[in-house]
Structure 1
Amino acid sequence: MLTRRIPSERFDTLMKQLRQFGFHSCYYTLFYRISPGQQIAPEFAELIDYDRCSPRVISKKHYLFSGDKRALQFQKVYLQRFAEYDKRFYPGDFFELAEYHSKCQGRVEKAIESGLKAHGIEHEYCLAIEDEFRKGLVGFFWLCSPNKELPQADGKLDTLLMQTHKQLVASHYEELNPWTDAQLLSPSSMTVLKLLADGVGSNEIAEQLHLSRRGVEYHIDGLKQKLGASNRIHLVAKALKLGVLSLY
């Protein structure tokens, strides 16, 4: 899991700012939220969708992290042992800043509470942010604190995280893009897609990438099938709409 951690000076700076709010660690990654009516094959949706990603998929995602590494250790244990049994793992309705408190109503909840405390975590904050420009893109923050009581944030914390999300998407979208992060689209397919979006024809794509014309068509057909596109123009438009390609 640690091998999928992306170094970021901006994120380390954020962690210094978060300490004034009582937090000692912060995790961030990107999901895509599929809206009703979007024609994407279910087996692909389960690899990227904020509401349906499995614990196994999340454990393999690229992410940014700064702070106490015990939080990462707990996350690994949680995803491997408890997430699939935790009713709160899938939030259902879209949520904004919500303080997580275990109610200890059953064995799973008690085990999670015990695990949190064993890893120096007394409080958690989760913030899911729908991106302002890339419809469907969701930035997810997970903050941990060793303190039983936290200072009043008065809206400043979520404002800070929303501003940071914009900066992180701008600087790390290539690495955190949910579509490529889940290996739904291969690097070769992404290169073909980008060239198509630039108006490059199949013969020139084949020449640039040292592929056969048939190889280029293979990638294009696979992209159309995965994104539910009917032709090349629709494919590029769909890729932009879904956030596979970014205008920013």
Structure 2
Amino acid sequence: METWKESQLKLLSYAKGIDAAYPILQRFAENLGFDYCAISVTSPRREVLLDTLRINNYPKEWNLQYDKQNFKCIDPIVAHCNHSTLPIVWEQSAFSGTPELWQALQQHGLQHGWSQAFHHEESGLCSVISLARHSCPISALELYEHFGYIFYAASHVSELFMRSMPKCPARPCHPRLSPRELEVLQLSAVGKTAYEIAKILNLSERTVNYHVKNLMDKLDACNKISAVLKAAKAGFL
């Protein structure tokens, strides 16, 4: 690895937040021969609600047009990155279905670019780094040489963003109830007495009371009615 690459990647690994990481990444992109650098973090999973992060040094007019015309919804690069971690080069063929987007890229000096995604399985986050420049198409050799560095950078951006997210409260750990305890619980919930439950389950009344006591202990309840209410709230009924 070239010394400057090693040095800048080390700096990136030391960054404590996205704001600190982006200038390092931007300098790295410039040293690789790119005019523009962009990072974004989204969540393609519908069940994960997340405000999209987007930082770049693209022309201001491009960002305004991208938002105003809602290009994100038709952007083939976004669609690719949401489902693949393979690098994608910004070529006219990739934009065959959205020629207006391709034309806008050319007008704003974003003629040649490529994007690299990293998918964080646990959180559902998709972080993307995109590099672009005015001139000189991106060769297969160039892509091969830089892929590993940018993939690592995208993974680090994802990690930094995760650290900034509010911690989700831990879900309460529900107790494990035995099949017999569940039977006693269900019958108690419909108003059956220990005597009646004993007859229905062919048990002794003493055994039924033993199960009721266990239910009260496991559900941290002071009596049978409270145990039934807590069990219903926990989803046992």
What TM-score results when the alignment is normalised by the length of structure 2? 0.51
Distance in 2 between residues matched to 1:144 and 1:75, nearest whole Å? 14
Distance in 2 between residues matched to 1:167 and 1:84, nearest whole Å? 24
Query: Could you tell me which residue of structure 2 aligns to residue 114 of structure 1?
Result: 103
Secondary structure of the residue that 2:128 maps to in structure 1? strand
Query: Could you tell me which residue of structure 2 aligns to residue 63 of structure 1?
Result: 54
Distance in 2 between residues matched to 1:75 and 1:158, nearest whole Å? 25
Is the Cα–Cα contact under 8 Å of residues 127 and 155 in structure 2 kept in the other structure?
Answer: no
Amino acid at match of 2:66: Y
Between the aligned residues of both structures, percent identity stands at 10
Distance in 1 between residues matched to 2:52 and 2:115, nearest whole Å? 17
Distance in 2 between residues matched to 1:144 and 1:81, nearest whole Å? 21
Give how far 1:7 is off: 6.2
Q: 1:95-244, aligned counterparts within 5 Å?
A: 95-103=85-93, 108-109=98-99, 111-131=100-120, 134=122, 136-150=124-138, 152-153=141-142, 155-175=144-164, 177=165, 193-194=168-169, 196=170
Aligned-residue RMSD, C-alpha: 3.7
Query: Could you tell me which residue of structure 1 aligns to residue 197 of structure 2?
Result: none
Is the Cα–Cα contact under 8 Å of residues 44 and 125 in structure 2 kept in the other structure?
Answer: yes
Structure with larger Rg: 2
Larger relative contact order (Cα-Cα within 8 Å, sequence gap ≥ 6) = 1
Structure 1 unaligned runs (5+)? 1-5, 35-43, 49-59, 178-189, 200-229, 233-248
Amino acid at match of 2:110: I
Shift in alpha-carbon separation, 1:76–1:61, aligned structure 2, 3 A:
farther
Is the Cα–Cα contact under 8 Å of residues 21 and 150 in structure 1 kept in the other structure?
Answer: no
Query: Could you tell me which residue of structure 1 aligns to residue 206 of structure 2?
Result: none
Distance in 1 between residues matched to 2:156 and 2:83, nearest whole Å? 26
Distance in 2 between residues matched to 1:173 and 1:84, nearest whole Å? 23
Amino acid at match of 2:88: A
Whether 1:13 aligns to 2:24 is yes
Give how far 1:99 is off: 0.4
Give how far 1:139 is off: 1.2
Shift in alpha-carbon separation, 1:77–1:168, aligned structure 2, 3 A:
same
Shift in alpha-carbon separation, 1:168–1:231, aligned structure 2, 3 A:
farther
Secondary structure of the residue that 2:160 maps to in structure 1? helix
Amino acid at match of 1:62: L
Shift in alpha-carbon separation, 1:62–1:85, aligned structure 2, 3 A:
closer
Is the Cα–Cα contact under 8 Å of residues 31 and 138 in structure 1 kept in the other structure?
Answer: yes
Is the Cα–Cα contact under 8 Å of residues 125 and 144 in structure 1 kept in the other structure?
Answer: yes
Residue-by-residue CA offset, 1:156-183 (whole Å, 9 max, x unaligned): 32211222123323333244x5xxxxxx
Is the Cα–Cα contact under 8 Å of residues 18 and 157 in structure 2 kept in the other structure?
Answer: no
Q: How many residues align?
A: 156
Give how far 1:97 is off: 0.2
Structure 2 unaligned runs (5+)? 1-16, 174-232
Residue-by-residue CA offset, 1:3-59 (whole Å, 9 max, x unaligned): xxx96232211222212332111211222343xxxxxxxxx54955xxxxxxxxxxx
Shift in alpha-carbon separation, 1:85–1:141, aligned structure 2, 3 A:
closer
Distance in 1 between residues matched to 2:52 and 2:73, nearest whole Å? 20
Amino acid at match of 2:119: E
Give how far 1:90 is off: 2.8
Q: 1:16-31, aligned counterparts within 5 Å?
A: 16-31=27-42
Distance in 1 between residues matched to 2:53 and 2:22, nearest whole Å? 14
Residue-by-residue CA offset, 1:107-161 (whole Å, 9 max, x unaligned): x50x323321221111121211123x63532211222211233464253322112
Distance in 1 between residues matched to 2:152 and 2:96, nearest whole Å? 36
Distance in 2 between residues matched to 1:159 and 1:124, nearest whole Å? 16
Secondary structure of the residue that 2:68 maps to in structure 1? helix
Shift in alpha-carbon separation, 1:7–1:23, aligned structure 2, 3 A:
same
Secondary structure of the residue that 2:52 maps to in structure 1? coil
